[in-house]
Amino acid sequence: MNAKTVFKVVLKTLLPLLVLGVAGLGFVKLVQSRQPPPKRERPHLGPLVRVAPARSQDVAVTVTAHGNVRPRKQLDITPQVSGVVLEVSPNLVSGGFVAEGELLLRIDPRDYQLAVEKARAEGARAAYELTRAAEEAQVARQEWEMLRDNPPPAFLEQPPAEDSLLFHGPQLNLAQANVDAARARLAEAELALTRTEVRAPYAARVREESVALGQFVSAGRSLATLYSIDVAEIVLPVPDTDLPWLGGEGGLSGGNGPEVTISTERGGERHQWPGRVVRTDGVIDPKTRMVHLIVEVHEPFRKGRAPLTVGMFVRGEVQGRRLRGVVPLPRHALREGDTVWVVDGESRLRIRGATVARVTDATVYLSRGVEEGERVVLSRLDAVTDGMAVRVAEDG
């Protein structure tokens, strides 16, 4: 291998190493000459919070509760006489409507018609006996008058009493008593005859029935259950602490309590009925501290609106008294210890004590603690100190 060839091989080998060495040396120099960026102090503006302006207003208190519909009046149809059923109203079926005075069923009256005829015959016999006793008493008096016209014996100097045996007084009284008893038996027989027809005492709906044509029924056995359709009742349980907002327990009696809106959702539609609190139950549940408001809704089956059926689960919104000049805020704006957080004009958070007028599931109503137009903090913060800086989020 000649010298020229050796030089080419050495140059090919060392040249890349030389280039890499120069590049590495330049990189080191570049790194060593790098200057750190200048630091700039940024002020701490505090956490970002959402706020709501305080706006005082008059608010009508509404107490919401849920309950079930029940009938105001309900009765069992029970015959007072026994016999075979000859006629049954076609409306006497479960769910049927009957009018006031409508004939529900008729019991075979023939036995009771015969009893009336027998009582009349006994009355006629008793009237005859009374007439006979009266005639005999008149004859006895006439005989006494004839004896008194002649010189009477010594034992006839004193006249006998009017109700004595001489004047047939006891016989006359017995005959009169028999007449009165016969009249009573006739009235009883006629009353039993009228009871063979069972009629509806008021407009009602049939809850259940168990009677059929030709069936023998006994007196005192329930055949059907009816409930009135003029008024429906709803029982709404509310906490006893809500009673003052509704006028107190004394103001809920007498049928002139607060108005109530009864509503329910059926088939994707909301149905409403107007009602009114008429009274409360006599006791407060010692376990739940709940009071049962009794609400009445008139004409629950009126045409033109959905029927308010017995057993339906409904919502009731009871209108209470008005709160004057209170500030409504979201429930979570009220902090521990009945305090609120307010952002002042210098964007600093201030902790205020507040007076709570009323609290619901979603809203708190403050009577004192914030001024009109002040910004109340709605955001949740982990650590809060009075006077700390905050940033107020823009609307939207």
pLDDT over threshold 90, residue 192: yes
Are 67 and 87 in a shared domain?
Answer: no
Are 307 and 354 in a shared domain?
Answer: no
Are 126 and 166 in a shared domain?
Answer: yes
pLDDT-derived band at 396, boundaries 50, 70, 90: very low
Amino acid letter at 270?
Answer: R
- Residue 312: predicted pLDDT: 93
- Residue 281: predicted pLDDT: 83
Are 315 and 286 in a shared domain?
Answer: yes
Q: What is the mean pLDDT of residues 54-74?
A: 91
pLDDT-derived band at 55, boundaries 50, 70, 90: very high
Report the CATH number at residue 140. 2.40.50.100
CA–CA separation, 370 and 56 (whole Å):
10
- Residue 395: predicted pLDDT: 46
Q: What is the mean pLDDT of residues 30-47?
A: 67
Domain end, chosen from 204, 225, 246, is at: 225
Domain end, chosen from 272, 290, 321, is at: 321
Are 304 and 331 in a shared domain?
Answer: no
- Residue 276: predicted pLDDT: 92
- Residue 39: predicted pLDDT: 64
The phi, psi pair for 183, rounded to 5°, reads: -65, -40
Are 254 and 310 in a shared domain?
Answer: yes
Note whether residue 86 is domain-resident.
yes
242-277: pLDDT as tens digits: 888 887 665 566 667 889 999 999 878 899 999 999
**pTM of this structure:** 0.67
Report the CATH number at residue 307. 2.40.30.170
337-371: pLDDT as tens digits: 899 999 998 889 999 999 998 888 889 999 998 99
Report the CATH number at residue 368. 2.40.420.20
The answer to whether 279 and 257 have CB atoms below 8 angstroms apart is: yes
- Residue 7: predicted pLDDT: 60
Are 82 and 211 in a shared domain?
Answer: yes
Note whether residue 20 is domain-resident.
no
The per-residue DSSP string of 218-279 comes to: -TT---EEEEESSEEEEEEEEEGGGGGGGTTGGGG-SS---EEEEEEEETTEEEEEEEEEEE
Mean pLDDT taken over the chain: 85
Are 284 and 335 in a shared domain?
Answer: no
Q: What is the mean pLDDT of residues 28-50?
A: 70
Domain containing 379 equals 49-59+324-392
Note whether residue 17 is domain-resident.
no
pLDDT-derived band at 286, boundaries 50, 70, 90: confident
Domain end, chosen from 225, 253, 275, is at: 225
Note whether residue 23 is domain-resident.
no
Note whether residue 31 is domain-resident.
no
Are 146 and 234 in a shared domain?
Answer: no
Note whether residue 221 is domain-resident.
yes
Q: Which long-range contacts (C-beta less than 8 Å, at least 24 apart) are formed by 342-347?
A: 342/370, 342/374, 342/375, 342/376, 342/377, 343/49, 343/51, 343/374, 343/375, 343/377, 343/390, 343/392, 347/46, 347/389, 347/390, 347/391, 347/392
Are 196 and 219 in a shared domain?
Answer: yes
pLDDT over threshold 90, residue 152: no
Note whether residue 8 is domain-resident.
no
Note whether residue 87 is domain-resident.
yes
Number of independent structural domains in the chain: 3
Are 220 and 81 in a shared domain?
Answer: yes
- Residue 294: predicted pLDDT: 93
What percentage of the chain exceeds 90 in pLDDT? 50
pLDDT over threshold 60, residue 59: yes
Are 241 and 346 in a shared domain?
Answer: no
301-324: pLDDT as tens digits: 988 889 999 999 999 999 988 889
